[in-house]
Amino acid sequence: MKVSLFITCLADVFYSNVGKSTVELLEKLGCEVDFPKSQTCCGQPAYNSGYHKETREVAKHMIKAFEQSDYVVGPSGSCVAMLHEYEELFANDPDWREKAHQLAGKSYELTQFIVEVLKVENVNAALPAHATYHKSCHMTRLLGVKDAPETLLQNVSGLNVTPLPNSHDCCGFGGTFSVKMVPISEQMVDEKVKHIQDTDAELLIGADCGCLMNIGGRINRKGIPIKVMHIAEVLSSGVK
């Protein structure tokens, strides 16, 4: 099965190991992974800030970048959800709307692809740790991916996952929200960190680099001894 990696900006710039783990995991599951070099930002920051005209140009570029791909898989539900938003962007342009529809139909978040397309629920990963899992807003509410990450984590050997209290709450990142609404964002992430501490977990797992950057940054500033890992890193741990 041929898969094109949609690396996303944050993984590309800040979390290269997440991209590496994603490729290693997909290859170990029998996929042939390629990387369309023309891909750029998905346009979500501009889109969420109301610059829809500018976002259409980015969307056209991304549609062309993945036009020949069989499947498009990314380690971020938020960014993949944006690819699905392209149809709405081209609501008044039938030709580009159809192309956007085709891209959306073959685009998946990593865990969603593993469970729903590859039909795999156990990747034979091993990680002895006590963890909790943060559900990111865009991944669950916009993309609709809720069960796949937890299904895969339940089958990681040695991993004990304690449910996160108020797991549905936003961490306060929200892309440009954390920059424009700093005081509110700070209070939201502090509340999230408190709930993480309440689980007594030594490890926080998430599926979106944006959330992990925000929460992990706050944990680090507070000097709290909790490690942060992307789910791709967890699922590639101990895999042979």
121-234 shares the fold of 1-114? yes
8-66 confidence digits (pLDDT tens): 999 999 999 999 999 999 999 999 999 999 999 999 999 988 999 999 999 999 999 99
CA 209 to chain CA mean position, Å: 6
Q: How does residue 80 score in pLDDT terms, banded at 50, 70 and 90? A: very high
- Interacting residues of 137 by C-beta distance below 8 A, sequence separation 6+: 78, 170, 174
State the fold for domain 1-114: Rossmann fold (3.40.50)
- End-to-end Cα separation, the chain, in angstroms: 19
Domain parsing of the chain, residue ranges: 1-114, 121-234
Q: Between the CA of residue 4 and those of 33, 104, 147, 215, what are the distances in Å?
A: 6, 13, 23, 29
- 40 secondary structure, DSSP code: -
Region 202-230: mean pLDDT is: 95
> What is the pTM for the complete model shown?
0.93
Angle between helices 209-221 and 182-198 (to 10 degrees): 80
pLDDT of residue 240: 55
Query: Who contacts 124 (Cβ-Cβ below 8 Å, separation ≥6)?
Result: 157, 238, 239, 240
**Amino acid in the structure at residue 228:** V
What CATH class has 121-234?
alpha beta
Distance of CA 226 to the CA centre of its chain: 20
State pLDDT tens for residues 112-163: 999 999 999 999 999 999 999 999 999 999 999 999 999 999 999 999 999 9
